[in-house]
Chain A
Amino acid sequence: MDLLLLAIGAIFVNNILLAQYLGNCPFCGVSKKLSTSVGMGLAVIFVATLASIFTWFAYHYILKPYNMEFIRTLAFILIIAALVQFVEIFLKKQSKTLFNALGIYLPLITTNCAVMGITLLNIKYEFNFIEVIVFSAASAAGFTIAIILFAGLRERLIIAPVPKAMQGTAIALVTAGIMSMAFLGFTGMVK
């Protein structure tokens, strides 16, 4: 039950994009078409969950016993970069269909703040192993839901008569603000 609450909280109440502001660069960059945003979202779920597991083990079994917490940032980004590289090679060899679907989004994920942010939040909230898996998968799912909804809105925005000065990124940010207002409605649902 607690795990379910944790998952719902991570997807809706503390949505990583709209309430914690992480991963906004891909949110604005690759949300122009629905198909690309689906690919990006799935790639983030996959990498964020794996990265959380690896960084959690690295933090609790390597960095902490040797009192090297200060090097956390460096260690985490290296783990994420290596993992992304490895996943790319593995998918290329093993699953052509999955590689074609996620391929071009994988390199972008290294510098996606959502992935790095989730791994840091896992440490900050002092989760145990099961909670780490649930929280990271749910947060990434929240990212995917938000980016897919936003891409749907942006496809409609292209044909909307927007004032000239607000076209493009400006109206996209305002739209994101209105979406974020809708997600604010979930506040208080889960503590």
Chain B
Amino acid sequence: MSYKKVLLHGLWQDLPPFRLVLGLCPALAVTASIENGLGMGLAATFVLIFSNMLISMLRNIIPDQVRIACFIVLIATLVVIVEMVMKAYFFPLSQQLGIYIPLIVVNCIILGRAEAFASRNPVLLSMADGLSIGIGFTLSLSLVGSIREILGAGTWFGIPLFGSNFEPFEFMIKAPGAFLCLGILLGLMNAYSRKRGESIIQT
């Protein structure tokens, strides 16, 4: 596989959480505003790149039967680092993301990439895969966050966009809005792919 292909596949072909229907929990939970979505996306990207790197380095040493447990320990260690860094330098954001930061451990995207890609590919290629999937995830989360924040609160990055007469749809920042927004975006993506005749439609 070429670097170009690996670097690009996370941006459309395997875009999480739409094409790879993994990592839905953070995609739904922390996207009430773009700031939270972006923060979660970047934290997950960091973990993805380095977990792919470590797992790819150790892929010939880790025995096959206990690989999942080993992957989880490696990922958890990285998540602990992220947790501590965020508490030290981005305290308000870490308070807002709350339990969803430690929950990056059980984000299926990270374990999924470790199992499907990093455990059978060389180090640099695996890091490229982590970067690509991570950027895709960050972009998706920012998009969903923007839509929900603009409609649900009338602001973007906390800046009011509409005049004082705007009545925000509070529905969008509550739980049902998250599910509906993600579902409709996925539907639009499928419609576009269908029009272009791509064979990667999610069913």
Contact = CB atoms under 8 A, between A and B. Distances in A.
Interface of A: 18-25, 27-29, 70-74, 76-78, 81, 85, 107, 110-113, 116-117, 120-121, 124, 163-174, 176-178, 180-181, 183-184
Contact of B179 (A22, A77, A85, A173): A173
Interface stretch (B52-60, B73-81, B121-129, B159-167): B73-81
Nearest to B79: A73
Given A77-B76, A177-B183, A180-B179, A116 B103 contact: yes
A181 B25 contact: no
A110 B66 CA distance: 13
B9 interface: no
Interface of B is mostly: helix
B186 interface: yes
Contacts of A165: 187-188, 190-191, 194
Interface residues of B, number: 44
B99 A124 contact: yes
Contacts of A28: 21, 24
Interface stretch (B34-42, B104-112, B133-141, B146-154): B104-112
A43 to B, nearest CB: 15
A110 B108 CA distance: 10
B98 A124 contact: yes
Given A21-B25, A77-B106, A81-B72, A70 B84 contact: yes
